[in-house]
Amino acid sequence: MEIGEQVKTALKEGRLQLAFQPIVAADGGSVDYYECLVRMRATDGRLVPAASFIPVVEQLGLMRAIDRYVLDLALEELTAVEDVRLGINISGLTAADRSWLRALNARLRGRSDLARRLIVEITETAALHDVEDTARFVQAVRELGCQVAIDDFGAGYTTFRHLKALTVDIVKIDGSFVRGVLDSPQNQLFVRNLLSLAKAFNLRTVAECVETAEEAEFLADEGVDLLQGYHFGRPEMLPPWRAAPGVAT
């Protein structure tokens, strides 16, 4: 079966699942929230990463169905576990689609406790496709009580002025600026500029793809608020709140 059909079937059979990756405070390392990353459980039990099917799925028009399913999985998790905050990724198509917003609205009605613990991540490239439309989407999501993050910031044609127009809560520095940041004056300059701008706009900052203690220390010293990456934890199907005590994972 080709990959698109596999995903369609997996969606029907409940074999799309979430992996959870911690995002930690730069000062002290406590978990701030977990990013949810979708995985397909193949019929043979293998886990297929999102990178292997998300681009195909976008072509096939399946993205809305997946983004809605991921929303439901995340809300289930938030309902089952208190004290955990979760971030979900949505595609640019979804941000432009009113029906996802209506679904979010319906599910969060009277549940401000859940909304407060949900972060919606939208990629910079998607956000910049139609800035005014995205700004309205961001506003609507925030009015429901959720936070919004701009993902992969700097990967696209960044114009810092869009940060102001979009009124998000969090900006995630693209991994390409974090990788090798210690050896790249250009990357350092980008990070510093973004941080001073983020501070001016009162945005919280996340550095993605932090893989070493040295990178973590550098970014913390520069004033990044939150850190994410293999150095702190990989995406896990069994996050701490699911792992039964005494059971090896």
User: Which three-class secondary structure state does DSSP give residue 172?
Assistant: strand
Out of 51, 213, 244, 247, name the contact with ligand G by CB under 6 A. 51
**CB of residue 50 vs ligand G: minimum separation in angstroms?**
3
Backbone angles phi, psi at 150, to 5 degrees: -95, 120
Q: In whole angstroms, what is the distance from residue 137 CA to residue 92 CA?
A: 11
Among 6, 34, 67, 77, binds ligand G (CB under 6 A): 67
Q: Is 72 in the site for ligand G (CB under 6 A)?
A: no
Of 10, 50, 181, 191, the one binding ligand G by CB under 6 A: 50
Residue 174 DSSP label: P
With CB atoms as reference, the residue minimizing the distance to ligand G is: 229
230 binds, among Na ion, Mn ion, ligand G, none (CB under 5 to 8 A by kind): ligand G
Interface with ligand G by CB under 6 A: which range of 45-53, 103-111, 138-146, 184-192? 45-53
CA dist 149 and 159 (Å) reads 16
- Give Cα 83 distance to the centre of its chain: 18
Please state, in angstroms and as integers, the Cα–Cα distance from residue 86 to each residue in 68, 106, 124, 165, 230, following that order.
15, 19, 19, 25, 18
- 35 makes contact with Mn ion (CB under 5 A): no
Query: Least distance (Å) from Mn ion to the CB of residue 2?
Result: 27
| Contact flags string 90-109 toward ligand G, x per CB under 6 A | xx------------------
